[in-house]
Amino acid sequence: MASVNEYFLRLPGSYLFSDIAKRVSAYQAANPERKLIRLGIGDVTRPLPPACIQAMHQAVEELASADTFHGYGPEQGYSFLAEAIIRHDYASRGIDLTPSEVFISDGAKSDTGNIGELLSQDCNMGVTDPVYPVYVDSNIMSGRAGTLDAEGRCSRITYLPCTAANGFIPQLPEHRVELIYLCYPNNPTGTTLTHEQLKKWVDYALENDALIIFDAAYEAYIQENNVPHSIYEIEEARKVAIEIRSFSKTAGFTGVRCGYTIVPREVTATTTDGRRIPLNPLWLRRQCTKFNGASYITQRGAAAIYTPEGQQQIRETIRYYMENARILRENLQQAGLEVYGGVNAPYIWLKTPDNMDSWKFFETLLQEVNLVSTPGVGFGPSGEGYLRLTAFGRREDCTEAMRRIRDWMG
Ligand code: PLP
């Protein structure tokens, strides 16, 4: 009989959002007349930009004819998309990249979850806490995280708390970590790091020979000037950082599936006998072995984001969600709640009133306001006492949710 990878058995009970879905379905089944507003899961509600739709239609037509048909594409992605990414997302900010440093994928979840395969199981890793759960869970699966305690902390992970007490700015770890996951703008707190704050992390990685996995899935939501869009805006970050991005939240690709990862040529990791190994060829090897590329249709759709029409259309969509964020933030503040995020990110991070625990406040909002949220503790132990709302909902749902909260708070 095959023996199981027992590290999977160390994972927390269930994936956060399935847990929430179960509670919500149970409530709805018992109260079918109640109209729930869902501002929990971070899925988008606006349709794809027309420029993407048009490009995807055209790509379908190409596939319909033998002369223009595309079968397997390059595992790393088509150069038309890689070049558009380099020109618009990096060269425009003074960052030089070559197409061989860009790896187009089916989204940031796969890449954030898979990238750890390149590193030894013995690497000490650190994560900001709370954070997107995939970083921790994927490392539990691969055996790098140790065992999970009752509070949800893994024995071999260094947690870097981000709470109101430290302004959501993670402190550098007290002992050396070799692998650090950073997510900015942050899911779930909606907070960001300034250039100077991010530079501290790059300097730490340079001094400690550490690797930063920088998840910039929400980069397009940055509004303020002193917030870096890419970690490569920091000098020498190319030596120590892999950056992961997604078209999901930028252009409504949550269902279409496309993202990309930058693995600069200079990024290395060491062998036990002290040799430095560049990670770019290893990631290429990994992708060629386990991934056959995002579809041609998808990549044509993604490339259309970079046309002038595409750019204008995504700007409108982002404006729509950020206006939702403003409505949520201001109304919640007026209702007397402590609110964070929502300025450079489409997430609102709320302190629960009266130090209620996250799941209790989640249940309260579900039952008394009929609002679906996400309990902060689901994103890590330091998320306890907080709750996340997404600004990706429909405008009328956001305004109705705020009306209900105002009434409920009296
Ligand atoms: N990274 C972060 C921080 C996210 O919040 C999400 C999705 O919610 C992802 C990655 C996944 O993005 P994708 O849809 O590209 O897989």
Q: Which amino acid, 271? A: T
Mean pLDDT of the chain: 96
Q: Which residues contact 21 (CB under 8 A, 6 or more apart)?
A: none
178 C-alpha to center of ligand 1: Å? 23
Q: In the chain, pLDDT over 90 holds for what percent of residues? A: 95
Whether residue 132 has its Cβ less than 6 Å from ligand 1: yes
Average pLDDT over residues 85-93: 98
| 13: pLDDT strictly greater than 80 | no
- 24-46 pLDDT, tens digit per residue, is 999 999 999 999 999 998 899 99
Average pLDDT over residues 70-83: 97
Whether residue 17 has its Cβ less than 6 Å from ligand 1: no
- 312-329 pLDDT, tens digit per residue, is 999 999 999 999 999 999
| 258: pLDDT strictly greater than 80 | yes
Q: In the chain, pLDDT over 70 holds for what percent of residues? A: 100
Q: Does the predicted TM-score (pTM) go above 0.95?
A: yes
- 169-204 pLDDT, tens digit per residue, is 999 999 999 999 999 999 999 999 999 999 999 999
Residue among 20, 109, 215 to mutate when testing ligand 1 (max atoms within 8 A of CB): 109
Whether residue 44 has its Cβ less than 6 Å from ligand 1: no
Which residue puts its alpha carbon closest to atom 5 of ligand 1? 187
Average pLDDT over residues 5-28: 88
**Per-residue pLDDT, 409:** 86
| 15: pLDDT strictly greater than 80 | no
Average pLDDT over residues 288-306: 97
Query: Is 192 within 8 Å of 167 (Cβ atoms)?
Result: no
354 C-alpha to center of ligand 1: Å? 31
**Per-residue pLDDT, 16:** 77
Average pLDDT over residues 2-20: 87
- 161-178 pLDDT, tens digit per residue, is 999 999 999 999 999 999
395 C-alpha to center of ligand 1: Å? 22
Please tell me the distance from the alpha carbon of residue 364 to that of residue 370, in angstroms, as a whole number.
9
**Per-residue pLDDT, 215:** 98
Average pLDDT over residues 144-168: 95
Whether residue 189 has its Cβ less than 6 Å from ligand 1: no
* Atom number of ligand 1 nearest to Cα 259: 15
Q: How confident is the model at residue 152 (pLDDT cuts 50, 70, 90)?
A: confident
Q: How confident is the model at residue 369 (pLDDT cuts 50, 70, 90)?
A: very high
Query: Is 379 within 8 Å of 133 (Cβ atoms)?
Result: yes
213 C-alpha to center of ligand 1: Å? 14
Average pLDDT over residues 111-127: 97
Q: How confident is the model at residue 150 (pLDDT cuts 50, 70, 90)?
A: confident
Is the Cα dihedral 241, 242, 248, 251 positive or negative? positive
Burial 65-96 (b: 16+ CB within 10 A, else e): eeeeeeeebebbbbeebbbbbbeebbeeeebe
Pairing label, strands 125-129, 179-183: parallel
**Per-residue pLDDT, 135:** 97
- 196-244 pLDDT, tens digit per residue, is 999 999 999 999 999 999 999 999 999 999 999 999 999 999 999 999 9
Q: Which amino acid, 9? A: L
Average pLDDT over residues 371-380: 96
Whether residue 219 has its Cβ less than 6 Å from ligand 1: no
Residue 237: DSSP 8-state = G
Please tell me the distance from the alpha carbon of residue 210 to that of residue 371, in angstroms, as a whole number.
42
Q: How many CB atoms lie within 10 A of CB 143?
A: 15
Q: In the beta sheet, which residues pair with residue 245? A: 260
* Atom number of ligand 1 nearest to Cα 109: 16
**Per-residue pLDDT, 342:** 97
Whether residue 374 has its Cβ less than 6 Å from ligand 1: no
**Per-residue pLDDT, 17:** 79
**Per-residue pLDDT, 265:** 98
**Per-residue pLDDT, 76:** 97
Q: Which residues contact 236 (CB under 8 A, 6 or more apart)?
A: 202, 206
